[in-house]
Amino acid sequence: MSTENTTDAPKEIQNLKLSLIAQHAARDLAQLIAEKEEELLQAWHQVTEEGELQEKKPIFRIGYTISLDPDGNKMTTGLTFAVRRKLEIVRPMPDPEQPELPLSEAEVHSE
């Protein structure tokens, strides 16, 4: 299923219920972003700043969910965002079966 933008007109939603869900979801997304605009911009800035400091490509993720309750005839939309931090240290794993090699020539000759 491809959702890439093309020069063709977008396909219209045929089912009335799905069309209404899409319309409400689009409005809800805009409203939620507007309500948290300052916090979103601060988080975006933090991610960009940290990416520059760590020399990594910054990625700021915004999650948007649509939950449908067919029995209750309800729709819930949710927006999530966060600044995620990850620290790493990469080092070789020591092998307990392999003896350590001497660190210097002096250690080799002293044995």
HEC states along 47-97? Answer: HHHHHHHCCCCCCCCEEEEEEEECCCCEEEEEEEECCCCCCCCCCCCCCCC
Lowest mean pLDDT among 2-6, 24-28, 40-44, 69-73: 2-6
State residue 79's pLDDT score: 97
Question: Model pTM greater than 0.95?
Answer: no
Element (H, E) at 35: helix 16-35
Measured between alpha carbons, how far is 58 from 44 in angstroms, rounded to an integer? 9
The structure tokens listed for 20 are: 């209404």
Q: What is the pLDDT of residue 69?
A: 95
